[in-house]
Amino acid sequence: MRPTFVLTHYEREPVVMQGGTTFYFVTGGIEEALERAKKAAGERDVKIGGGVSTVRQYLEAGLIDSVHLALAPVLLGQGEALFQGIDLRALGFSVTDRQSSEYATHLTLEKV
């Protein structure tokens, strides 16, 4: 039952789901969404989820400390390039954990 902040271009009223999770729609950009999420989280971590564009915006702004990638061996088409033009090493990231199963490989990249 944690609040969830959704980036959007369209103003909407919050949506309360069964179970208590509330979705708040943020039109002020990534910084506003992160500020609101940090305030709601208090001392807890804030997790950012979303599509390639959202994650790239946060990475390029230097607002991410840790990235968890779940890679599944399925080809789905061309898609969007998550890291194209982003030098993760120059941003201070390195792989700190990797785990594999028959279904996916999980990588954790953290700023060190």
Q: Given this model, what pLDDT does residue 16 score?
A: 95
Average pLDDT in the 85-96 region?
A: 95
d(CA 93, CA 91): 6
Average pLDDT in the 43-52 region?
A: 90
d(CA 85, CA 67): 17
Q: Given this model, what pLDDT does residue 9 score?
A: 93
Mean pLDDT of the chain: 92
SS3 17: coil
d(CA 10, CA 26): 8
Average pLDDT in the 59-73 region?
A: 91
